[in-house]
Structure 1
Amino acid sequence: MCPYSVRMDLDTVRTFVAAADTGRFQEAAAELAVSQQAVSKRVAALERGLGVRLFTRTPRGAELTIDGRAFLPHARELLRVADRAVASVRVGRRPLRVDVINLRGAASGLMRDFHRRHPDIELDVLKLFDIDEAIAALRSGTLDATFRAVGEPGRPLPADIVSVRVLDEPLQLLTGPAHALAHVRSVPLAELAGHRIWMPGVVPGTEWAAYYADLVAAYGLTIESTGPNFGSDALLDTIADTPALATFMSEQTRLVWPTGHDLRRIPVTDPTPVYPHSLLWHRDNPHPALTALRAHLETAAPGPATTGTWVPPWTSPH
């Protein structure tokens, strides 16, 4: 056994990762709430134990050496394992933490129903933006489950993350009263080609951006995401006042708007575009309430739609 393997403590490893991420010992010290001298001493102790230089000092701060770059992913894994070890003995005394992406969407509705049926289970409902952030949180043990669209080409899930498709969320067209389609009872998806659909919340690189990019490619739609995203109230104001614009809105999204807006929710058919939600969790997550949530979704969630709907080819029910 390497003698230093006994002496390597998590504080030195955590300090090394903080210094690597910030690029400055001073910023790492602030992040860890210790002195800059303590950061220097911890890094020096780690370097002595490993027998290599991990950083070189430059006018811009601290840069990783070749050995530092090689050690960094293993250091991160050490911290992940340590965090999961701590979480494994604390989960029974903390809330179940679930990410729903959108607090007004279908996943949030599923969690509200779960809470009604299991009022004794304490919940923390979060809203994380990025799927990579959510997966990192699942792997570190700071998050127990997340609802995501998964399967995007080039972005496979890690082997330790499990996913089960639980819900397909139908999309509707939302228009103002003067829009050309405002008075139809339903509209075939292909007939939306040529209409301007405005969705300022579509951010490049997200799974929902990949979803809408495939929808555009499949049906020749025009989806615009220009302009700042001021939230749903501003979106509804714009749709109500602009006859040339419409937007997609989930059939299950709960919205309230002023009476004067007179907005119209129009079903889209032949096929109906549905947004696929899968529940993701770490296969070794020990939280007892996670089992209850999975069992609830198996019986309460409608499950994936099978006919008359459209989803991107990279999504598939499990």
Structure 2
Amino acid sequence: MDLDTVRTFVTAADAGQFQEAAADLEVTQQAVSKRIATLERNLGVRLFTRTPRGAELTIDGQAFLPHARELLRVAERAVASVRPGRRPLRVDVIALRGAASGLMRGFHRAYPETDLDVVTLFDIEEAVTAIRSGAIDASFRAVVAPGRPLPEDIESVRVLDEPLQLLAGPAHALAGARSVTVAQLSGHRIWMPGIAPGTEWGAYYDALVAEFGLTIEATGPNFGSDALLDTIADTPALATFMGGHTRLIWPADHGLRRIPVTDPTPVYPHSLLWHRDNPHPALAILRAHLAATAAGHDTAGTWVPDWVIPRGAPKRP
């Protein structure tokens, strides 16, 4: 059903005259008459009766009027749902306990009036597809993995370098250390069952192993962070890497230790991805907020894989 004809019908019903309806709609009276005639033809009923005073609704016109008003209200809600600034900003943070989620909490505290939808997508291909389709507005990712450049229409900027820490149980050989060097980790078993082949974090830890000769095991099913913490607490031979901004809570009797890693400090590079033509005004606010609050990129004494995009550099040569 043509909404222009429905809108013309409602305007004419409210005005009581086709001439006045034409003035309200800024069209000719002939255009109003043609639209009403088209609507009547499509519905198979007469909607108006012409009188000396103007136009009066028939019984069918009276029955149709409330539904016509609802059609226009539904149409307006549909348009508003996708109008820039009227719908929530949808951002992928990968994991709700990770650093990206913390960045979005900081943004929400700074701009509480901005509506947000926070989602968690698995890998970068899924995130890029969602950005390009408009399903999400932005995603936090470690870009780019070797041989997997971003599409031309996807923009990115490095927003946070998150230092890795060693997480060890109370009986681990390094549990009493105030910090450990990367070289001291050689020969120790680091267990990370959440590493999935083909992901950007998988590529990151592959590069870490290749650079420093570490032993990272991804064996066994991934039952989540709680099961990982239980195992690390009870197994003296195992430790794991944890992002310094990852928020985790464990029982006091676990005795787990977060130990800084130095010389150099491996940092996980978080970037924000978005479509270059995305008009959502809150996206620009988020980018400005991250640019103003993020710090610690490419600092001395840190390490990232050589495929990571430097801060402020274009995403491809």
TM-score of the aligned structures, taking structure 1 as reference length: 0.71
- Partner of 2:264 in structure 1? 271
- Partner of 1:148 in structure 2? 141
Match of 2:302 among 299, 309, 318: 309
Deviations 1:228-279 (A, max 9, x none): 1111100000000000000000111111111110001100000000000011
CA contact (8 A) 2:169 2:255 kept: yes
- Partner of 1:105 in structure 2? 98
CA contact (8 A) 2:80 2:86 kept: no
Paired amino acid for 2:303: W
SS in structure 2 at match of 1:93: coil
CA–CA distance in structure 2, aligned partners of residues 301 and 273 of structure 1: 18
The reply to whether residue 173 of structure 1 matches residue 166 of structure 2 is yes
Task: Return closer, same or farther for 1:281/1:88 CA change in 2, 3 Å cut-off.
Answer: farther
CA contact (8 A) 2:98 2:246 kept: yes
Q: Which runs of 4+ in 1 moved over 6 A?
A: none
Task: Return closer, same or farther for 1:89/1:252 CA change in 2, 3 Å cut-off.
Answer: closer
Match of 2:234 among 231, 234, 241: 241
CA–CA distance in structure 2, aligned partners of residues 202 and 248 of structure 1: 11
CA–CA distance in structure 1, aligned partners of residues 97 and 82 of structure 2: 33
Paired amino acid for 1:216: V
Match of 2:180 among 179, 187, 193: 187
1:89 deviates by 4.8
Equivalent residues in 2 for 1:1-318 (5 A)?
A: 89-317=82-310, 318=312
Q: Unaligned regions of 5+ residues in structure 2, if any?
A: 1-78, 313-317
Deviations 1:52-92 (A, max 9, x none): xxxxxxxxxxxxxxxxxxxxxxxxxxxxxxxxxx8995332
CA contact (8 A) 1:92 1:288 kept: yes
CA contact (8 A) 1:171 1:275 kept: yes
1:104 deviates by 1.1
CA–CA distance in structure 1, aligned partners of residues 152 and 299 of structure 2: 27
CA–CA distance in structure 2, aligned partners of residues 205 and 246 of structure 1: 23
1:206 deviates by 0.2
Deviations 1:102-132 (A, max 9, x none): 2111111110010011011000011100100
CA contact (8 A) 1:165 1:303 kept: no
SS in structure 2 at match of 1:312: coil
Query: What value does the CA root-mean-square deviation take over the aligned residues?
Result: 1.4
CA contact (8 A) 1:163 1:279 kept: yes
How much identity, in percent, do the aligned residues show?
76
CA–CA distance in structure 2, aligned partners of residues 303 and 189 of structure 1: 20
TM-score of the aligned structures, taking structure 2 as reference length: 0.72
SS in structure 2 at match of 1:266: strand
CA–CA distance in structure 1, aligned partners of residues 110 and 81 of structure 2: 25
Larger radius of gyration: 2
Task: Return closer, same or farther for 1:135/1:88 CA change in 2, 3 Å cut-off.
Answer: farther
- Partner of 1:74 in structure 2? none
CA–CA distance in structure 1, aligned partners of residues 223 and 91 of structure 2: 25
Q: Unaligned regions of 5+ residues in structure 1, if any?
A: 1-85
CA contact (8 A) 2:127 2:139 kept: yes
Task: Return closer, same or farther for 1:283/1:216 CA change in 2, 3 Å cut-off.
Answer: same
Q: How many residues align?
A: 233
SS in structure 2 at match of 1:173: strand
Paired amino acid for 2:157: V
1:303 deviates by 4.7
